[in-house]
Amino acid sequence: MSSFHFFSDPDYPGPGSSDLIRFWDREPRQLRMKPRMQIPEYRFPDSSKIAKPLIAKSEDAPQIANFWNKYYSEEDWRFKCTFEEIVKWMEQGFIILIRNNNKDEIISTFAFRKIKGGVICGIPNSQAAIVDGLVVKPEFRKTGLASYMMACIDKFSSELHDFPQGFLIWFREQLTPINNVLQTPIAILKYSYLNLDTLKQTEENAKKATPEFVKKIVNRVYNHDPSKFTLASLSTTDSGVLWFSTMGALIGIADTHRVSIYEQPIWEIVFAANEHIPFFMNLQNAIESAAYSLPCKNGLLFLSNGISRGNMSNPTGNWVCGRSGYLTAHVFNWMPPTFLTGDILFPHSCI
């Protein structure tokens, strides 16, 4: 998702173009003003036939769910979802799929989910979408298919969702931030995690927060100091996020739809702030109170040193620090206010 990709893109200015002079200035703006006009061809390695990208339909949902549950994974986790959840994600945008040239099987997917109300990345109310669910069947990896899917989703976003002035957001989990620096993320956040079965009853029971209260606190936090965030979304309606009010704080915990190698569900703090100033201090007890109220007692909870996502590099107690990896945030087709050292306010779940 790096800005470096644009130099090899036929729809972006190349060497000699006067537009290239402005490429690396710091003014937040869309990098390519016109919708993508073309995408490269992808030929199947075994036959040289040209792939045909398709927009998934609701009847494809069971097959996509099976595909993701089988192939969407890393060494220490795998994805777990239902076809009903696939349909829900389709309704937020679309899912691209590629089928094998001689079989009725899916070999790659990519999902586009438009964010209601826009986001703020130097310019308020910008059109934006989350892209995730990029899965390639193992035997087709390292053949250029993933890059081809990126070009497809860029083109289809303009054609299908009236998205000519929008940009795409992608989150990645990294073992180390070093390998990802060349992809110019806008933020690199350090993770810590906790086994939920180590939690004990807290002094105050967390309560489910009302949508009105959630919206009020998120807006209050952002409006107090907008300069703290390179990327911000004030939309709080993601059904994948559970909101809790406890100990004078608001905590948002996302269902990642991932399970560990021990089949433990994995959750993530996507928002944590006190209701009043100082917003981002002494939140560990409130986070643990909210975690104790999750609909399961066995699982993993991740937080990070992002200021609105826990604001802790080294939480105390049973938290595991230093070998939990990093979260990096990337934008495509947009010049952000800063790279690498930014932070995010983004109460959304990823798939």
Q: How far apart are CA 309 and CA 197, in angstroms?
A: 21
Q: Report helix, strand and coil shares of the chain as percent, to nearest 5.
A: 25, 30, 45
CB-based contacts of 110: which residues, under 8 Å, 6+ apart? Answer: 95, 96, 131, 133, 134, 149, 150, 152, 153
Give the pLDDT score at 3.
30
The dihedral through the CA atoms of 330, 334, 338, 342 has a sign that is negative
Low-confidence ranges of the chain (pLDDT < 50): 1-10, 12-18, 20-21
One-letter amino acid for residue 169 of the chain: I
Give the pLDDT score at 17.
45
Give the pLDDT score at 291.
97
Give the pLDDT score at 182.
63
Give the pLDDT score at 24.
61
Domains of the chain are 3-169 (3.40.630.30), 187-345 (3.40.630)
Give the pLDDT score at 103.
78
For residue 138, whether the previous peptide bond is cis, meaning omega lies within 30 degrees of 0, is no
Give the pLDDT score at 162.
76
Interval 48-69: pLDDT, tens: 899 999 999 999 999 999 999 9
Q: How far apart are the first and last CA of the chain?
A: 17
Give the pTM: 0.91
Give the pLDDT score at 1.
27
